[in-house]
Amino acid sequence: MRIPARLTGPGARRTGRVAAVLAVALVGGTIGLLLGGRVETAAGPTDVALSLRPSWTGGTTVQIPPLGALHLDTHLGPFALRAQVTELRLASARKLLDDPGAVDDLTDTIADQLRHGMIVLLLRGAGLALVFGFLAGLLVFRSWRRALLGTAAPVAGLAAVALVAWLTFNPRALAEPRYTGLLANAPQVVGDTQNIVDRFSRYRAQLARLVGNVSRLYAAASSLPTYEPDPSTIRVLHVSDIHLNPAAWNVIRSVSTQFQVNMILDTGDLMDHGTAAENKFANDIKTLKVPYVYIRGNHDSKSTQKAVERQKNAVVLDDATRTVGGLKIYGVGDPRFTPDKSTKDDTFPAARLRSLGDGLAARLAASGTRPDLVMTHDPTEGEAFSGLTPLILAGHVHARSTKLLPTGTRLFVQGSTGGAGLRSLDHAQPTPIELSVLYFDRATHRLQGWDDLRLGGLGLTSAQIERHLEPDPKRKVAPAPAPQSPSPDPSSPTPATTRPSTGG
């Protein structure tokens, strides 16, 4: 086969040489950027090492050894920014602890220090990218002219990286961190949602607050400082599907203490088979020291419900509304009792479960009650209350998810706080332990944000915590309008003359 001349002629060879020069320079420039993109700068009482790392997803990571790390989705790749606290100056940290107001005084100083560090980082990285791009071209092609031509590739690459970072910059990233590290340290590092909601656009203040939190953690080596949440926030711990796992009580107790929650909401399946022998498992509820609001799941029997009712701090809801900790809560137990495959209830398909939910929702609407949140076990039944409340909590499916329904109601489905119990052994990977801390405004009773906790790995000593903010806490919530019957078509036959159907 004859190759076209345009692919083998002088022009094609010239294009190939230019492409080769640019490719070599681009590789050299990338190496220079990674080598030069490192700098250490002061940030208040700490020294912080800033560096650029190759990444498909970009973002920013703040390493706080040995406590853990904060991950921020600030921008997309191909480079991620890493900031690691390398040293704490104890004298400066002690001054910060003695004068809490000094955290705000550090705002301008820290912002200027980090800004200077970032400028030095970018200038060094860009400078070495050009130098290494030039040297790579000179080394490979042994031509000054080609080496100078090759510097166009690093320049174009740097411009493209800067453009991508600028176009994909996420201003909410600082308000929605993901924390991985020791569970006990999580509240002190991520802070309180209400504070972040009020101040998330004030980036300099947030940087000062972060450094202040790190300083407090380092200085308190033997005992962690007391977490002081915003008094205007109601903090609620949402758990579900514990499935008789005793380890869940340790997790719930730890999280409720560290985050100083005001109450715990359990959306069912506390037990595995609902037998009388399992009832003593509910005795741990009274050790939690805060109100424990519970609804029955499909693995919980009426005997289970009575065992929970006997706990002095328990509030059991079964088609009832109670005000707990300032929140008006409606809850209903699951109508099924199907603890295993041998007792599977085929009389409850999804359509019937939704129909029962529709009936309960209609009765709730007729009563004139508008709860701040609704608790159901199965999200299928829960969706029937859409439009009657800003928030519906559910469980059952052992996988956490959330979505906004068309009526403005948020459906929040929790994972399994018990790791699905013994059922997790049936899977190649154990089911993670999941629970969430929800933050409500004390005045409006509307959800402001939440922290999703996911435990796994080596025992219960590590955790991933992801912060989410409610995009529009004051959004309107109203039932969807009922579908209207179409106007009769004058050309269609009247009911009197319509012939009946003869379907089978």
Separation CA 437–CA 467 (nearest Å): 10
Find tokens 């869940």 and name the residue.
248
Separation CA 390–CA 349 (nearest Å): 27
The confidence score (pLDDT) of residue 132 equals 83
Question: Other CB atoms closer than 10 Å to residue 422's CB: what's the count?
Answer: 12
Judging by DSSP bridges, how do beta strands 320-324 and 327-331 pair with one another?
antiparallel
Say how far residue 352 (Cα) sits from the centre of its chain.
Answer: 33
Burial readout 14-38 (b: 16 or more C-beta within 10 A, e: otherwise): eeeeeeebbebbbbbbbbbbbebbe
Q: Is CATH 3.30.450.20 the right assignment for the domain spanning 229-469?
A: no
Q: Reply yes or no on whether the pLDDT at 309 is more than 70.
A: yes
Compute the mean pLDDT over every residue in the chain, rounded to the nearest whole number.
Answer: 76
In degrees, rounded to 5, the angle at the alpha carbon of residue 452 between the alpha carbons of residues 447 and 454 is: 160
pTM: 0.68
Question: If we measure between CA atoms, which residue out of 413, 348, 401, 400 comes closest to residue 374?
Answer: 413
Give the pLDDT band of residue 502 (cuts 50, 70, 90): very low
Sign (positive/negative) of CA torsion 445, 447, 448, 449? positive
Question: Percentage of residues in the chain with pLDDT exceeding 90?
Answer: 34
Burial readout 434-459 (b: 16 or more C-beta within 10 A, e: otherwise): bbbbbbbbeeebbbbbbbbbbbbeee
Sign (positive/negative) of CA torsion 295, 339, 286, 414? negative
Three-state DSSP at 62 gives strand
Q: At residue 128, what are phi and psi to the nearest 5 degrees?
A: -70, -30
Separation CA 255–CA 269 (nearest Å): 20
Residues 186-228: pLDDT tens digits? 565 566 554 444 433 343 444 444 444 444 444 433 333 334 5
Find tokens 């129909």 and name the residue.
355
Interval 394-410 mean pLDDT: 95
Contact predicate 178/186, CB 8 Å = no
Question: If we measure between CA atoms, which residue out of 244, 234, 246 comes closest to residue 287?
Answer: 246
- Dihedral of the alpha carbons of 162, 167, 172, 174, in degrees to the nearest 10: -10
User: Which residues fall within 8 angstroms of residue 445, CB to CB, at 6 or more apart?
Assistant: 234, 326, 327, 328, 372
Say how far residue 95 (Cα) sits from the centre of its chain.
Answer: 34
Question: If we measure between CA atoms, which residue out of 459, 451, 4, 500 comes closest to residue 189?
Answer: 451
Residues 310-339: pLDDT tens digits? 999 999 999 999 999 999 999 999 999 988
Residues 444-484: pLDDT tens digits? 999 998 988 887 633 444 567 788 889 899 999 998 776 55
Domain extent listing, the chain: 15-178, 229-469
Bridge partner list, 92: none
Separation CA 30–CA 347 (nearest Å): 64
